[in-house]
Amino acid sequence: MSHRVVVIGGGFGGIHAVQRLRRAPVEITLIDRRNFHLFQPLSYQVATGALSPGEVAYPLRAIFKSAPNVHVMLADVTGFDLEPRQVRLANVPGMDAAPPSVEYDTLIVAAGSSYSYFGHEDWRQYAAEVKTLESATAVRAQILRAFEAAELMTDPETRAAEMTFVVVGAGPTGVEMSGQIAELARDTLRHDFRAIDPRTARVILVDALDRVLSAFPTSLSRRAHRSLEDLGVTILLDHTVVDVNQYSVTLSAKHGGTERIHTRTVIWAAGVTASGLGRQLSELSGAELDRADRLTVEPDLTLPGHPEVIALGDMVRVRAGGGDPVTYPGVAPVAIQQGRYAAGLVGDRLAGRGTKPFHYVDKGNIATIGRGRAVAQVKFLKLSGLPAWLVWLCVHLWYLIGFQNRLLVCIKWSVSFFTHGRSARIITYQPTPEAVQHSDKGAGDEARASGVRGG
């Protein structure tokens, strides 16, 4: 029997592990609750209408269609049995075909993370995030719907609340998101409405730290700050969110005092918590967790006491040489390098070769702010403005999965750059069951009236 490798997660880590193992003498099962790989660094562009969902997502089966030893399984992982080496499964909504479990010889867990609301889970219903494709399209609808609602209103205070957008978290996602909303309001939409001037919209970026992009050098952080202000973004640093509801956000300043901002749109990009699968592995193995529920793994990314289980990506921190565990940045290059390392580890074991601990090669940081505006640190080189934006563009095109996606995004960005347009400004709704039934009935009536027959 071939060596059975089960990979959990179709993100960057899981995808690159499978790509490296596809030519090895192993049978691979890739499990994910979605049937696509999402290029998460660009999900905020879906949320602001710059790109369509299909341009940042690629079907998992299409990626591995030429690899006969790779089996893609659409299922939800519910737990593990480490001694019999089994992964327990459940059906995803709308399907009843998943087996109760799958067996493995090597398990690679790359389940990622989600945004943390710091113990205030009730805020989640009012403060959306853009970490998934579904949430990104929902945020896009919310942003566009806010302008549409403001167009219909006559009360100045209510209209101002609709046209106020609060982004919580001044890391790369928060900076990119606030810059894109400001460009959308002040550039793309400025001639689209009659009763309102979209350029009067307020975009507020909030963070508890004392500067934006705190992981970047101070000089680049200052440049990003200035670029955001040039776009009209209001930046509130040293401010902590203390309440979020349907109508407002309440902030507490570091030096005292609170401020209530009336808004209908809050976007959350502050802090992450690891996948719940990490906690399960911790309970089964005794491995430590940090405050963000990141699982502590050995220098070779294996679970303590279970070398057959490899965990990687946002959900782990790595014990390095007997010192304190290292928490790597939650960015795609880390997951990609760890995924490739995990594949190499499996190959070395099968070939009887010795292995070395994982070593991350930091290739730098990049964050875009708007059209032709970005900051980048590549080794000792610090860039800002158009040069940094061109580097950002090339890097993201390079990492996109699929030639078709690269071509479409390149064309879309080129057109957008010269025309200032955003073609994906579509408002979508989650229909209720009653609405679906009504729609189906209407479609059937129309088909019969037109003489159309189904085959």
- 228: tokens are 């955001």
- 378: tokens are 């590549």
Contact by Cβ (8 Å): 249, 261: yes
Catalytic status, residue 176: yes
Task: List the beta strands (DSSP E) in 33-163.
Answer: 36-38, 57-59, 70-74, 76-81, 86-90, 101-103, 106-109, 113-115, 127-128
**Rounded to an integer, what distance in angstroms lies between the CA atom of residue 328 and that of residue 363?**
13
| 225 φ, ψ (degrees, to nearest 5) | -60, -50
Contact by Cβ (8 Å): 75, 33: yes
CA distances from 284 to 187, 277, 288, 289, 318 (A): 53, 11, 11, 12, 18
Q: Given the residues 27, 176, 183, 298, select the one marked as catalytic.
A: 176
Burial grade of 241 (CB within 10 A; 0-12, 13-18, 19 or more): buried
Contact by Cβ (8 Å): 67, 202: no
- 75: tokens are 């299922």
Helical pair 172-183 and 218-230, crossing angle rounded to 10 deg? 20
Could you list the active site residues?
A: 176
